[in-house]
Structure 1
Amino acid sequence: AWGQWRGWERGVTHIDLVSPRLRTLEGTQLAWSPSTKKPINAEAVVLPLVADSNAFKAWLPSVKGKVVLISQNPTSGRPDKNWEEFATKDGLAKFKADKAKDASAWRDRMAKTGLNARTLALAIEKAGAAAIIINNWSAGWGVDKVFGANTTKIPTVDLSVEDYGLVFRLAESGSKPKLNITSESKELGLVPTENTLAEIKGTEKPNEYVMLSAHFDSWDAASGATDNGSGTIMMMETMRILKKFYPNPKRTILVGHWSSEEQGLNGSRAFTEDHPEIVSNIQALFNQDNGTGRVMSLSGQGFAKAKDFIPRWLAAVPDTIRNQIRTSFPGSPSGGGSDNASFAAAGAPGLSLSSTSWDYGVYTWHTNRDTYDKLVFDEIRSNAILAAILVYMACEDPERFTHEKAPLPTNPRTGAPGVWPTPVKANRKGGVN
């Protein structure tokens, strides 16, 4: 174990609109949301447009015992692509103008409270509200992004764009909608946080390492299938292939399935802190963490001599896989986003096997639809073949991949020289504040 984290177990979420009509709504509690002691039956109200923060403070007592909606109601529940395909030219222009106007008006409504999203939720909780409802629409059909709750005593629930819009409109029109909410969860106290590692020991250079990397944790509104179950499956299959066909590698092969990536790369950061003897001797690390698709790009991540190694390793990959991969050298180091960044910041060649989209950003990344049925197993299989060959070539290479860094390009916005990312310390006791 490298640390501890606040343990929390999701239970049942069930939400009904009971007045002025009856409808079961689609929604789920946010991660780490407090549990309802008993079902909530309460009127839903919308964050009002107030003159200023003093007017907001004067309004706050009115939320006692109510459910408060604190997100913008999206202008349309149709994705932009749908408007672009079917709307007239004038209709599309009007939609875009309305969307921009609505977003600006909501930002103004939020600003007048004098609070941000986090402090707003806490202020409403402190004022005695029964629950908070948000909508974090992912701008696609049926998808919301579901993260963590800011509240500590009352539940925070995400409603689908369709049902959030319904309740929002009813409240805004004075229909006084009432909701029944059950949102059960269990606090588990501080629990150990662990990475999962496996090794095939090297025979000639056992203290040099070729690493496979994927994070094992996920947000829990769905199954985490493409973020990052697909990466985990790929690395497990890669290790199976290597163990069967390359059981005696020249360099040691390590695979890291990292925890707490979603909370800030903490598992991989802890590993780089705890094992400098490995980090300083990494020949290459191959990380995969952007969906189920086939690998389409591979950068040198800012390492000066990457072009002397990666194309040579890729030459052994079948044309059907290799010819789809764009390379860039020396590239720039990842500043964050996934676990290879932890290694790059520590000075080791953490390479990202970047995949084609399959609409990952909209439909599966951190959403309630990141489920098993979204996996494309033929593409995961292709990625495992690619990774196995890259690992084999990196292990067999008689030369050591130098950790020399290339000069980084000038920042186009500031004109300042590029700066290599610096290591960030792992949070080893999380979720407690």
Structure 2
Amino acid sequence: MKKRFLLLLCFLTLHTVFAQNNDPVIDNIVKEATENSQLQPLGHELMDLIGPRLVGTPQMKNAHDWAVAKYASWGIPARNEAYGEWRGWERGITHIDMIHPRVQSLRGTQLAWNPGTSKQGVTAEVIILPTVKDSLEFVRWLPNVKGKLVLIDMLEPTGRPDYNWEEFATEASFAKMKEEREQQTTAWRDNMKRMGYSSRTLPTALEAAGAAGIVTSNWSNGFGVNKIFSARTKKIPTVDLELEDYGMLYRLAQSGHTPKLNVVALSKELGVVPTFNTIAEIKGSEKPEEYIILSAHFDSWDGGTGATDNGTGTLIMMEAMRLLKKYYPNPKRTILAGHWGSEEQGLNGSRAFVEDHPEIVANVQAVFNQDNGTGRVVRLSGGGFLHAYDYLSSWLEPVPDRITDGIETTFPGTPARGGSDYASFQTAGAPAFSLSSLNWSYWNYTWHTNRDTYDKIIFDDVRDNVILTAILAYMASEDPDTTSREKSILPVSSRTGEQLEWPEPKSPNRRGGLDEGN
């Protein structure tokens, strides 16, 4: 009798394992994602054809409309939801040429939401900032900028990233470079303090003093890569030059060989324009008032085409929705894809959605967000939800081992304090989780830079992230239990030992400003 019981138990166990590993929905998701991926054509259309998606630009609206049409072609209803307004602006041609002491076209671009020039552009000499003993001396110097293009960033002592020095330099040479760089950086910052300005306030003072334009260089510590953000002037152009060209101009000005530039920046002001989130929906069949949300911000900076920030997150959620519609068309719970606007200016789109749809947020089963590059997912935190382990671990179980073996989980984890759109949901109490990925040199080379382009996408990794996301959404929808929102014991600061608080929800800035986001 005992043997029969053990044999029956073994049979039932094997049958359960076999059933778990042969779910036709999961099998079809994996097969379709692997053999008929639409990631590359989607990426080509979004990055190469539509291009960067700076909030307030026609390209951003084009992207929203493209996503709605693409979802419709898959039989998925989608809509653009207006949530606020922003400064409308359209980038035009940027051309920066040195015309003295020799002729050379320079590599750079006009900064976002920045005044344009005439077709002839601005032609002016370059001037660098002085070293001063106090703010009064700087005030006396200010009239020198009238009619000039002012270089406002420091001269970097090297254009090589540290990893290159570590590989090839002698230990003494590397140490010497780092010491000199630290000294120069400290001296630059101290001089800025003596001038009485910061990098944010200085352009306003230079503009008021009659400068013809501002020239910046926000190096990312990688070969040929600059961070591209927004400008702070109202009437004069601001352009950002790659480190190599900026350094050349700086040295020429420093040595008395005063360079002269012609800057053409043909941007257009478009007034105040509406801003949108794109929401796609697969309606639930049994619990339609409960929701799984696949989350990724849609906007980008526009130095590159926004491929890894956050084109890849967008592709993951769109492709996951395509697979779910094809092989799981009648989910138990409603599955939404949220493509948020204006994340880069402070999570504005997702925060607005949370504020506008409390009935959805109150019934969220789970939010899965992806927003940090093109690599495969390697970290998943419970976000501070006490029972996150119970449901997340069961949802991960049927995901192929080759995907989950590389994922480090942390339970219960800690709540988000900003960062990306899942924080908007967490602060409202909804169980929202970040699918954090390998960075593939994200911080140095593609995050907010002129190199964030299609060719940097690692499609094998993105495909695996699609499989992970689609299976998590499927499992969360099928789960007979509703997820717990009970929060863990509040975390303690590792620096001070102080008890931390859960962050409070904040109302979105509906009109927005020009603050740089994530």
Tell me if 1:247 matches 2:329: yes
Please state how far the C-alpha of 1:40 moved relative to its aligned partner.
Answer: 1.1
Q: What one-letter code is carried by the residue in structure 2 that aligns with 1:176?
A: T
What is the match of residue 97 of structure 1?
179
Residues 30-429 of structure 1 mapped to structure 2, 5 A cutoff: 30-37=111-118, 38-429=120-511
Instruction: Describe the superposition over 1:319-350 as per-residue Cα deviations: whole angstroms up to 9, x where unpaired.
Output: 01111111000001111111001001111111
Distance in structure 2 (CA, Å) of the matches to 1:267 and 1:210 = 18
Please state how far the C-alpha of 1:113 moved relative to its aligned partner.
Answer: 0.9
Please state how far the C-alpha of 1:414 moved relative to its aligned partner.
Answer: 2.6
What is the match of residue 8 of structure 1?
89
Q: Are the aligned partners of 1:213 and 1:285 in contact in 2 as well (CA < 8 Å)?
A: yes
Distance in structure 2 (CA, Å) of the matches to 1:95 and 1:36 = 39
TM-score scaled by length of structure 1: 0.99
Q: What one-letter code is carried by the residue in structure 2 that aligns with 1:2?
A: Y
Distance in structure 2 (CA, Å) of the matches to 1:269 and 1:58 = 46
Distance in structure 1 (CA, Å) of the matches to 2:127 and 2:273 = 37
Please state how far the C-alpha of 1:432 moved relative to its aligned partner.
Answer: 8.1
- Unpaired stretches in structure 1, ≥5 consecutive residues: none
Please state how far the C-alpha of 1:415 moved relative to its aligned partner.
Answer: 2.3
Alignment size in residue pairs: 433
Distance in structure 1 (CA, Å) of the matches to 2:331 and 2:396 = 18
Please state how far the C-alpha of 1:63 moved relative to its aligned partner.
Answer: 0.5
Q: 4+ residue stretches of structure 1 with deviation over 4 A?
A: none
Distance 1:432 1:262, change over 3 A: closer
Deviates more, 1:334-343 or 1:403-412: 403-412
Q: Are the aligned partners of 1:407 and 1:418 in contact in 2 as well (CA < 8 Å)?
A: no
Q: What one-letter code is carried by the residue in structure 2 that aligns with 1:73?
A: L
Please state how far the C-alpha of 1:396 moved relative to its aligned partner.
Answer: 0.6
Please state how far the C-alpha of 1:416 moved relative to its aligned partner.
Answer: 1.6
What is the match of residue 98 of structure 2?
17
| Greater percentage in helix | 2
- Secondary structure, counterpart of 1:262 in structure 2: helix
Instruction: Describe the superposition over 1:23-52 as per-residue Cα deviations: whole angstroms up to 9, x where unpaired.
Output: 111010110111013411111010111111
- Secondary structure, counterpart of 1:59 in structure 2: helix
- Secondary structure, counterpart of 2:322 in structure 1: helix
Distance in structure 1 (CA, Å) of the matches to 2:257 and 2:490 = 59
- Secondary structure, counterpart of 1:11 in structure 2: coil
Distance in structure 1 (CA, Å) of the matches to 2:514 and 2:495 = 37
Distance in structure 1 (CA, Å) of the matches to 2:153 and 2:231 = 14
Please state how far the C-alpha of 1:413 moved relative to its aligned partner.
Answer: 2.2
Deviates more, 1:37-46 or 1:307-316: 37-46
Tell me if 1:29 matches 2:110: yes
Distance in structure 1 (CA, Å) of the matches to 2:416 and 2:218 = 27
Q: What one-letter code is carried by the residue in structure 1 that aligns with 2:129?
A: L
Q: Are the aligned partners of 2:284 and 2:330 in contact in 1 as well (CA < 8 Å)?
A: yes
Deviates more, 1:412-421 or 1:116-125: 412-421
Q: Are the aligned partners of 2:345 and 2:514 in contact in 1 as well (CA < 8 Å)?
A: no
Q: Are the aligned partners of 1:6 and 1:432 in contact in 2 as well (CA < 8 Å)?
A: no
Aligned-residue CA RMSD (Å): 1.0
Instruction: Describe the superposition over 1:233-281 as per-residue Cα deviations: whole angstroms up to 9, x where unpaired.
Output: 1100000000000011111101100000001000000000011111111
Please state how far the C-alpha of 1:108 moved relative to its aligned partner.
Answer: 1.2
Q: Are the aligned partners of 1:301 and 1:350 in contact in 2 as well (CA < 8 Å)?
A: yes
What is the match of residue 7 of structure 2?
none
Distance in structure 2 (CA, Å) of the matches to 1:281 and 1:214 = 19
Distance in structure 1 (CA, Å) of the matches to 2:223 and 2:506 = 37
- Secondary structure, counterpart of 1:410 in structure 2: coil
- Secondary structure, counterpart of 1:107 in structure 2: helix
Identity, in percent, stands at: 62
Larger Rg: 2
Q: Are the aligned partners of 1:5 and 1:432 in contact in 2 as well (CA < 8 Å)?
A: no
Distance 1:390 1:429, change over 3 A: same
Q: What one-letter code is carried by the residue in structure 2 that aligns with 1:5?
A: W
Q: What one-letter code is carried by the residue in structure 1 that aligns with 2:357?
A: H
Distance in structure 2 (CA, Å) of the matches to 1:291 and 1:97 = 32
Please state how far the C-alpha of 1:431 moved relative to its aligned partner.
Answer: 3.9
Distance in structure 2 (CA, Å) of the matches to 1:32 and 1:75 = 30
Distance in structure 1 (CA, Å) of the matches to 2:496 and 2:429 = 25
Q: Are the aligned partners of 1:33 and 1:156 in contact in 2 as well (CA < 8 Å)?
A: yes
- Secondary structure, counterpart of 1:309 in structure 2: helix
Please state how far the C-alpha of 1:158 moved relative to its aligned partner.
Answer: 0.4
Distance in structure 1 (CA, Å) of the matches to 2:466 and 2:143 = 57
